[in-house]
Amino acid sequence: MSSWTPTAPRPAPSNTVGFVAWARANLFATKLDTALTLLAFTLVVYVVEAIFGWAIIDASFTGDDRTACLKEVQGACWPFIEAKFGQFIYGRYPDAERWRVDLVFLSGLIGLIPMLMPNVGFKRANMIYLLGFYPIFAFIMLNGGMLGLATVDTTDWGGLLVTLVVAITGIVASLPLGILLALGRRSDLPIVRALCIGFIEIFRGVPLITVLFMASVMLPLFLPDGINFDKLVRCLIGVALFSSAYMAEVVRGGLQAIPKGQYEAAAALGLGYWKTTHLIILPQALKLVIPGIVNTFIGLFKDTTLVLIVGLFDLLGIVQLHFTDASWATPETHITGYVFAGAVFWLFCFAMSRYSIFMENHLSTDRTSS
């Protein structure tokens, strides 16, 4: 009987590894590939050059008014952003009180960053801080009127502050509401199911502008005299309800993908409905639909710009508002403002997108991940 010894591994042939091999295989494999590669390359160079020229080479960086941005060949008018930066971030929030907003931003980041890092412990304490303490703290700090803080009316809030308040409230409220709606829609109880379907279909079938408009103009007509919500609060409620209807459908997609066997195994182990849902079904269903959830968050974040319709000035709204400032009227003011606003929105959305990819990989438990 002869014994079997496995063959020792050899290194891969040198012409299949390294950059040259990679480029040959992926960029220049055929004549058509080569042509497309060159064309794409030319296009990229052209676009990058144009952007670089506009944003840097031909741009103005210093100045106190429009005269700084009236060169013969004028690129971006950055002094406009510089001069208005405070307005763009805080709106008409009084200068002397802006530290309160900074403090709210900062304390939010302090809670959020460890929360987003899966390996940092104390998740429960962190959660209590973010969902229990922080909203109250942020409300007191931003609104004032107690603890010796001057009241700052929400009509004076604006810019990135309003964008973040609306978006974060929407995000935080829409996920749990959406989950409850999705569970309700699959419930065995006919009344619960009917209510959830009705809610979802109504809010999903109506444009957000309509919801916001109704919340700000129509709602007060139905409320008894004397009861009057703040306009911002009404918008927050409208946005939260609207996005939770979308979220419900995303979550339902995940719920439907969970095999029946999972429910049966949980039932056979003696787990009831809520324990099964919370321990077995939701962790798997939500993981499946992370891309959809983040997609909804991103959509919501950008939809916050619609609050302009009811007279609230979010980041984009306030940038547009300042286009009318005569002392900054130049041909490049608009485009510079839009590029700035776009870049800020993009930054937030891109961060969410990257984080979702990171989480998907982190939560993956199949063979490939270990």
Partner 1 sequence: MSDPVIRINKMNKWFGNFHVLRDIDLNVAAGEKTVICGPSGSGKSTLIRCINRLEAHQEGEIEVEGVTLDGSLKNLEEIRSNVGMVFQQFNLFPHMTVLENCTLSPIWVQQKSQAEAETLARELLERVRIPDQADKYPGQLSGGQQQRVAIARALCMNPRIMLFDEPTSALDPEMIKEVLDVMVELANEGMTMLCVTHEMGFARQVADRVIFMDEGEIVEENAPEAFFSNPENERTQLFLSQVLTH
Binding positions for partner 1, rule: CB under 8 A: 259, 261-262, 264-272, 275, 279-280, 283-284, 287, 363, 365-367, 370
Rounded to a whole number of angstroms, the minimum distance from the CB of residue 261 to partner 1 is 4
In Å, what is the CA distance from 80 to each residue of 59, 92, 157?
11, 17, 21
DSSP state of 6: P
Amino acid identity of residue 77, one-letter, is: C
The distance of closest approach from Cβ of residue 179 to partner 1 in the complex, given in angstroms and rounded to an integer, is 16
Looking at the Cβ atoms of 112 and 258, the one nearer to partner 1 is 258
The residue among 273 and 323 lying less far from partner 1, judged by its C-beta, is 273
Which residue's CB is nearer to partner 1, number 37 or number 276? Answer: 276
Torsion of CA 226, 232, 233, 237, to 10 degrees: 120
Least Å distance between CB 6 and partner 1?
Answer: 21
CB of 287 to partner 1, least distance (A): 7
Backbone angles phi, psi at 206, to 5 degrees: -115, 140
Return the number of the residue (211 or 281) whose C-beta is nearest partner 1. 281
Q: How far is Cα 224 from Cα 217, in angstroms, rounded to an integer?
A: 14
Q: How far apart are CA 159 and CA 156, in angstroms?
A: 10
Distance from C-alpha of 253 to C-alpha of 259, rounded to nearest angstrom: 12
Q: How far is the CB of 145 from partner 1 (least distance, A)?
A: 45
Dist. CA 319–CA 334, nearest whole Å: 9
CB of 254 to partner 1, least distance (A): 12
Q: Which is nearer to partner 1, 190 or 259 (CB)?
A: 259
- 187 half-sphere exposure, CB direction, 13 A CA radius: 17
Residue 148 φ then ψ, to 5°: 75, 10
Tell me which residue of 62, 104, 111 sits closest to 83, measured CA to CA: 62
Closer by beta carbon to partner 1, 10 or else 260? 260
